Amino acid sequence: MKNEPGTNDEPGTNDQAVLAVEDLHTEIRTPQGPLKAVDGVSFTVRPGEMFGIVGESGSGKSVLGRTVMGLYTSGPSMTVTGKVVLNGRDVHALSPGERRGLWRSDVGMVFQDPGTALNPVKRIGRHLTEGMRGMSRAAARDRAEELLRLVGIPEPRRRLRQYPHELSGGMRQRVVIAVALAGEPSLLIADEPTTALDVTVQKQILDLLGRLQSELGTAIVLISHNLAVVAGRAGRVAVMYAGRLAELAPAADLFAGPRHPYTEALLASVPRLDDPPHSVLQAIEGAPPNMAAPPPGCRFAPRCRYATSSCETSPALVADGGRAFACHHPVDVGGA
Ligand SMILES: Nc1ncnc2c1ncn2[C@@H]1O[C@H](COP(=O)(O)OP(=O)(O)O)[C@@H](O)[C@H]1O
Ligand SMILES: [Mg+2]
């Protein structure tokens, strides 16, 4: 395994992005008409960084993740425009065969439900060795065992012979992560990797992802509807609202002083450890827009307490000192 902690994440030493997403649009054809699930999203992920993507359910996070992977491509059911460049290669310009190669060597994906990600009639060992080419059976088994050890599964040799149902949910998610890591990808996309798990197991899986990021130098895109999941783990965070990026900032800046009113409202609705017990959270009023017929202009305007008539035109995502936000009336962060 590659083991180069820290070599890739010093600012300025490596400006080659592992992932560059440029003006990405994913429009899904539905019986109700076209639905712009991802509507002009751009961002880059640097080698070895943990990049968080947060937003309410339905904001387009999963469609974004799957389009970035090249699991969603233009076809009868959807249209994808814009660019996804992974390690210098345009994901959507590749042939299906080349894309499958990419999933082995460049990018791995971890989904919400580890139950459905694994085939119930295949042993754990098969899941891990399937993609291994040009290796003896013994070497493949040793490698599979090494991968299980890497993701913190005890008694790996015995586990290789077991079926998914013989493992707990947390252990299954560790196996899914091991499978995703088998080709030593430079990027892992984890879409709500802990949402289906018990609270105590959630923390263990998030700690594992953090350890893999720092020990292997794997860049991780951590997608969650829950800001608390990315807090303290992601270096930078993108906030998604109704198919667009509302704000993108270093995590510390975002939590210390959100610029977008949506981020501000999201932060106010996250329970904090120092909240008095049973204190009432300030939920965000209103509901996210119907994505088949979103409001014109700023999509958050109907729920925004700062909205004015200027919000009838769409605000662009503009950079401001290492962060960016799409808002005509950004929240003041005193002294900035
Ligand atoms: N296969 C699909 N067919 C129709 N609509 C879809 C499909 N997948 C996602 N959507 C819609 O696209 C929007 C974004 O969905 P999704 O990316 O799953 O949101 P999130 O992951 O942020 O909860 C939602 O309005 C959802 O209903
Ligand atoms: Mg989702």
| Contact between 55 and 262 (Cβ < 8 Å) | no
Residue type, 175: V
Tell which residue, 237, 256, 254, has the closest CA to residue 245. Answer: 237
Q: End-to-end CA distance of the chain: give it in Å, rounded.
A: 43
Mutate which of 35, 67, 77, 245 for ligand 1 pocket (most atoms within 8 A of beta carbon): 35
Annotate 272-293 with b (16+ C-beta within 10 A) or e (fewer): eeeeeeeeeeeebeeebbebee
Indicate which atom in ligand 1 lies nearest the CA of residue 56: 22
Residues with Cβ within 6 A of ligand 1?
A: 28, 30, 35, 37, 55, 57-63, 291
- Count CB-CB contacts under 10 A for residue 69: 22
**Which ligand approaches the C-alpha of residue 57 most closely?**
1
The alpha carbon of 133 and the centre of ligand 2 are apart by a number of angstroms equal to 32
**Which ligand approaches the C-alpha of residue 72 most closely?**
1
Distance of CA 204 to the CA centre of its chain: 18
pLDDT in tens, the chain (336 residues): 443 333 333 343 345 899 999 999 999 999 989 999 999 999 999 999 999 999 999 999 999 999 999 999 999 999 999 999 999 999 999 999 999 999 989 999 998 887 788 999 999 999 999 988 889 999 999 999 999 999 999 999 999 999 999 999 999 999 999 999 999 999 999 999 998 899 899 999 999 999 999 999 999 999 999 999 999 999 999 999 999 999 999 999 999 999 999 999 999 887 665 666 665 556 788 888 998 888 899 999 999 999 999 999 999 999 988 899 999 999 988 654
Mutate which of 28, 63, 64, 79 for ligand 1 pocket (most atoms within 8 A of beta carbon): 63
Residues 6+ apart with CB under 8 A from 133: none
**Stated pTM of the model:** 0.92
The alpha carbon of 237 and the centre of ligand 1 are apart by a number of angstroms equal to 21
Q: Which two tokens stand for residue 249?
A: 């900032």
